[in-house]
């Protein structure tokens, strides 16, 4: 029997000879991945540059040519973290979306049912998002970056981190807005014509509400588990609602209305079913 050869790690791994840019990319990617597991503290003193070098499998001398001082490396790590700090839409969300619609497909046949279906989607998807954010080290990193970057003493670094956070935030809000625009259109809704606002506005309001609840849960953990038995606006039946979902459904129905131009018939319902069956994370 042939013995399986293990890929060496850490000190046993021979450093690869890489270009300067490849060394930079691998070091930053490795540091971001390590912080993704442990979370970012207010400082980076708990991060060992030597450990990052070992995990990245790069030449120590090449690293110190690129970053003569540890602080210079940490500066670039923080900027790299800020570029990808916001959460993304997940496969679990797409799967839950399909599941909810499949369980209540008959609701698509009436105006009240479609409103109730969107309310039920909000109830379950917001709870999934909230629980995910509360448990996410990447999200804690994002909060830490937002709270701490203004205290960075170096003006250039502070401006770079701030710009990266802003760009990351704009991309995130655009992604959320696009997902809401697609889903509300699919189920026959639009932004209220009486309100001069876009899906970007709606996404910003919903995102701010969810983040506020996550922050509040840090000092009041009962927010995570608290449920209200309610039938909020648009819901078909009473159910247990999380506080974040109640917030979001209230915001959503203040901004959305049925689209009178959408004709609901068998062909439309079939289109909704087929669209959801083919839906991918990349489509949102």
Does the pLDDT of residue 63 top 70, yes or no? yes
> Counting Cβ atoms within 10 Å, is residue 171 exposed (0-12), middle (13-18) or buried (19+)?
middle
β-sheet bridge partners, residue 58: 16
Domain 10-83, CATH number (from 3.20.20, 1.10.3470, 3.30.420, 1.10.10): 1.10.10
User: By the 8 A CB rule, do 262 and 188 touch?
Assistant: yes
- Report percent pLDDT > 90 for the chain: 48
Alpha carbons 73 and 184: distance in angstroms, whole number: 44
Burial of 280 (0-12, 13-18, 19+ CB in 10 A): exposed
First to last CA, the chain: 49
pTM, entire model: 0.77
Reference 40, options 157, 130, 137, 131; nearest CA is: 137
Give me the torsion for CA of 251, 119, 204, 93, rounded to 10°. Answer: 160
Confidence of residue 35 (pLDDT cuts 50, 70, 90): low
pLDDT tens-place string over residues 152-192: 777 888 888 888 888 888 988 999 999 999 999 999 999 99
* pLDDT-derived band at 10, boundaries 50, 70, 90: very low
User: Which three-class secondary structure state does DSSP give residue 205?
Assistant: helix
| Cα dihedral 155→156→162→163 (10° resolution) | 150
Question: Please, which pLDDT band fits residue 34 given cuts at 50, 70 and 90?
Answer: confident
Please tell me the distance from the alpha carbon of residue 33 to that of residue 81, in angstroms, as a whole number.
10
The SS3 call for residue 276 is helix
3-12, 102-111, 149-158: segment of lowest average pLDDT: 3-12
For residue 32, give every residue at least 6 positions away whose Cβ sits within 8 Å of its Cβ, in sequence order, or none.
Answer: 77, 80, 81, 84
Q: Which of 30-39, 208-217, 241-250, 260-269 has the lowest mean pLDDT?
A: 30-39
pLDDT tens digit sequence for 77-88? 888 877 766 666
Predicted local distance difference test score (pLDDT) of residue 86: 67
Dihedral, 240, 242, 248, 250 alpha carbons, nearest 10: 50
**Dihedral angle of Cα 211, 94, 86, 248, to the nearest 10 degrees:** -20
């Amino acid at each position: 029997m042939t013995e399986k050869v293990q890929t060496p790690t850490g000190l046993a791994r021979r450093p690869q000879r890489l270009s300067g840019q490849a060394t930079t990319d691998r070091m930053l990617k490795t540091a971001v991945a390590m912080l993704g597991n442990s979370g970012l503290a207010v400082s980076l003193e708990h991060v060992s540059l030597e450990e990052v070098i070992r995990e990245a499998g790069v030449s120590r001398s090449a690293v110190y040519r690129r970053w003569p001082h540890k602080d210079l490396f940490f500066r670039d790590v923080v900027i790299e973290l800020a570029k990808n700090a916001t959460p993304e839409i997940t496969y679990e969300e797409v799967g839950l979306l399909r599941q909810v619609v499949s369980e209540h497909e008959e609701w698509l046949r009436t105006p009240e049912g479609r409103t109730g279906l969107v309310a039920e989607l909000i109830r379950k998807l917001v709870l999934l998002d909230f629980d995910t954010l509360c448990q996410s080290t990447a999200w804690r990193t994002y909060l830490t970056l937002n709270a701490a970057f203004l205290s960075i003493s170096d003006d250039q670094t502070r401006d770079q981190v701030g710009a990266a956070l802003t760009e990351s935030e704009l991309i995130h809000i655009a992604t959320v807005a696009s997902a809401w625009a697609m889903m509300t259109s699919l189920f026959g809704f639009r932004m209220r014509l009486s309100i001069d606002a876009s899906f970007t506005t709606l996404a910003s309001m919903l995102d701010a509400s969810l983040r506020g609840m996550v922050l509040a849960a840090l000092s009041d953990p009962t927010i995570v588990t608290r449920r209200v038995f309610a039938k909020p606006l648009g819901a078909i039946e009473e159910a247990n609602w999380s506080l974040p979902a109640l917030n979001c459904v209230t915001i959503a129905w203040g901004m959305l209305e049925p689209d009178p131009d959408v004709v609901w018939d068998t062909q439309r319902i079939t289109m909704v079913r087929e669209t959801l069956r083919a839906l991918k994370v990349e489509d949102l």
